[in-house]
Amino acid sequence: MESLLAKVGAERPASECVPLCVDLDGTLIRSDLLVESALMLLSRNPLLLFPMFGWLLRGKAHLKREIARRVELDAVHLPYNTDVLAWVREQQALRPVVLCTASDEALAKLVADHVGGFDAVLASDGQRSLSGSQKAQALVALYGEGGFDYVGNAKVDLKVWKHARAAITVEAGSSLTQAASRVTKVDRQFTLPGASVRHWLKALRVHQWVKNALVFLPMLAAHRLFELESVLATLLAFVCFSLCASSVYITNDLLDLASDRQHHRKRNRPFAAGHVPLLAGPVVAVVLLVVSFGLATLLREVFVAVLAGYYLLTSAYSLRFKRIVMLDVVVLATLYTSRIVAGTAAIHSKPSFWLLAFSMFIFLSLAMVKRYIELLSAQKTGKINASGRGYDVGDIPLIQSLGAASGYLSVLVLALYIDSSDSRALYHHPHYLWLLCPLLLYWISRTWAIAHRGIMHDDPVVFAVTDKLSRVLLIVAAAVILFAIR
């Protein structure tokens, strides 16, 4: 590697022999390849976390090499820093440009080959982790003191800039540039937008918390809306589920980086797009989970058990079940139903057979809507399957028929409930509830029609909340229920 770099410098005219050395992680890309590759490996086999600790004991360079040997990096869809990349390409026409990174050499070469134009790649080799002082020593040995310009983004790069002719900084603020100016000349500064509150709210998927409103359903169904204790307990249950769900969403996004970046909409998620630091993700996920279960202890032990079951099942879904045909949609329906079970546990009530049966069928239908529109999107873009899923476009008719049937079965469950003794015990005029059946039939049929036309948001639950007609139907349904109660 050293002879190659020296040869590159020797073949250029003297006026062009000040090479530009470009860092990779956080500079050329808005990500970290070590974290990316480790998450990619864990998404395939979480048990590899334990061997990783053993590899780390033999040095960070060894850890990087062992992980790099086991993953296939998609260099095409990485979140490149477009401004830095454009400038580097301009410089490639003027002088030697070297990709100089602490990432493993195998991964760095994939990025270099995709970007093109690099005269050489200098990276960690399994024995030496090329970061900080190690990187500075390597560059000084090749080009001499002050014989190169260096592009970096972190405080550790100050150790390199101290020996560089000039610094080019890439950062979200100004403190790094000021620090670099104290050790060398700063030629250029690239400013990156930091992680904003909007990005974090999007990463937490606060808009998805609406799904957790299902915990209120048992309280409403039992007509306990005016019991203060039940209301407070249900509100606390809602907060616990929301924090737990956000923890899982972050974990899921971290493990799904590669497939998300190939999706037309998911590629804009904060972690996939590089708007939020990858290393911050696991920390925030753990904090949210701890707070969620800490608050859950204020409720009954049964609620804590349901929340734990929800977390384990949704984690298993993220790691494995979402890739198994049909099991994924059944698990999704179960996760929705678990919120209703949690609501009953929060208010010390018994789960309603009718409510649980209705929930499983209606949410199985909506889960299939989600897969259906993913497959339609894949078909329109010329793909044969949905990224990260076990389905292909040939399954579209099957998903459509099974999903619609499941939706109509939920209407059947509702009809049977209306004519049951349980209904007559809660409602003075249960026959009014029959009006709910045509409303639900219409909503389910319309939902599938909109999905069939390819104009639905890929989360049907969020669509149901934001769709104006769906809200009108909900208000009408609420009025019907009130008339039935009186």
Q: Which domains does the chain have, with CATH numbers?
A: 2-191 (3.40.50.1000), 197-485 (1.10.357.140)
Flag residues of the chain having pLDDT under 50.
Answer: 1-15
Q: Which residues contact 221 (CB under 8 A, 6 or more apart)?
A: 352, 355, 426
In Å, how far are 22, 101, 190, 479 from 18, measured between CA atoms? 13, 18, 20, 76
Residue 75: its H or E element = none
Q: pLDDT value at position 84? A: 95
**pLDDT at position 351:** 82
Tokens of 48: 């590899």
Three-class DSSP category at 207: helix
**Could you tell me whether strands 120-124 and 20-22 are parallel, antiparallel, or unpaired per DSSP bridges?**
unpaired
Query: What is the H or E stretch that residue 8 is in?
Result: helix 2-10
Hey, is 80 helix, strand or coil?
Answer: strand
Instruction: Check residue 45 and give left, alpha or beta (phi > 0: left; psi -120 to 50: alpha).
Output: beta
Q: Rounded to an integer, what is the distance from CA 52 to the centroid of its chain?
A: 23
Express each pLDDT in 427-469 by its tens digit. Answer: 999 999 999 999 999 999 999 999 998 888 667 888 888 889 9
Q: Taking the mean position of all CA atoms in its chain, how far away is CA 191?
A: 25
User: How far is CA 111 from its chain centroid?
Assistant: 23
- Residue 271 CB partners (closer than 8 Å, separation 6+): 203, 250, 253, 254, 257, 260, 278, 281
Q: What share of the chain is helix, strand, coil (3-state, %, to 5)?
A: 65, 10, 25
Question: At 191, which amino acid appears?
Answer: T
What's the gap between Cα 288 and its chain centre?
15
Q: How far apart are CA 343 and CA 345, in angstroms?
A: 5
> Token pair of 226, please?
């005016």
Structure tokens at 262: 């190939």
Q: Tell me what pLDDT residue 44 has.
A: 85
- State the Cα–Cα distance between residues 38 and 70, nearest whole angstrom: 10
Backbone angles phi, psi at 30, to 5 degrees: -95, 55
pLDDT (tens digit per residue) in 267-317: 899 999 999 999 999 999 999 999 999 999 999 899 999 999 999 999 898
